[in-house]
Amino acid sequence: MLRATRGQQQAQATKRTWNMVLFSVGGIKLAARTEDVGGISPWTRSISVPSRTPFVHAMLKRDHDVIPVYDLATRLSRTLQGDPLLCLVARHLDGPMAICIDAEVPSLETVDVVAIRPSGSEDIETLGMVTIGGEDVAIVALQRLGRSRPDVVKS
């Protein structure tokens, strides 16, 4: 019992930092919690799917799976940069979801939780903002990306 309590305390102590994947979409730096990222690989041609869901109009074949594509670049009104582009697989609550990101190879960062502040922008689902390398970076809530768009909630 005492050991378990100590273990819980240690676990709480280690949760004071978040491990982040830092990536970019159309030149905008974004971050995501590492546990929300299922992997990063070269982008392959997506398959167009007739759809009325905002920013979900394609699917991607990965090995024996087919996963939906979320067009984050279009949502942010940005044009993807570099070649070859990369695929970030988000661990979305509805299942894995592919996002095409810039060719710039993502990096890993550790962020102190107290440095995370609320996001002032409602452009995208975030877990907050953090300053990395002197640049303000939104922490994208990959698990619920596309779930809380105002036009979806209100309809």
Partner 1 sequence: MTLRGRHNSTNTLVETASFLVVRLGASYLALPAAGVRGVLTEARHTQSVTALGDIYHPVDLAQRLSVIADLSGLEMRTVLYSNDHAQGAIRVEQVVGLTDVERKDCFPLPAQFQGDEQHWFMGMMLYQDQLVLILNPAWLLGGLGVGVAASVRQTEQISATPSTVGESC
In the complex, which residues of this chain contact partner 1 (CB under 8 A)? 47-54, 56, 59, 61, 66-68, 70, 92, 94-95, 97, 146, 152
Q: How far is the CB of 52 from partner 1 (least distance, A)?
A: 3
Smaller CB separation from partner 1, 19 or 48: 48
Smaller CB separation from partner 1, 42 or 50: 50
Q: How far is the CB of 82 from partner 1 (least distance, A)?
A: 25
Smaller CB separation from partner 1, 7 or 95: 95
94's CB contacts (< 8 A; 6+ apart) are: none
Smaller CB separation from partner 1, 56 or 132: 56
3-state secondary structure of 8: helix
3-state secondary structure of 112: strand
Identity of the amino acid at 87? C
Question: What is residue 73's DSSP assignment?
Answer: H
Q: How far is the CB of 91 from partner 1 (least distance, A)?
A: 12
Q: How far is the CB of 53 from partner 1 (least distance, A)?
A: 4
Question: What is residue 84's DSSP assignment?
Answer: S
**The token pair that represents 130 in the structure block:** 């953090």
Among 105, 108, 109, 127, residue whose Cα is nearest residue 40 = 105
3-state secondary structure of 81: coil
Smaller CB separation from partner 1, 15 or 52: 52
Question: What is residue 143's DSSP assignment?
Answer: G
Q: How far is the CB of 155 from partner 1 (least distance, A)?
A: 10
d(CA 95, CA 38): 11
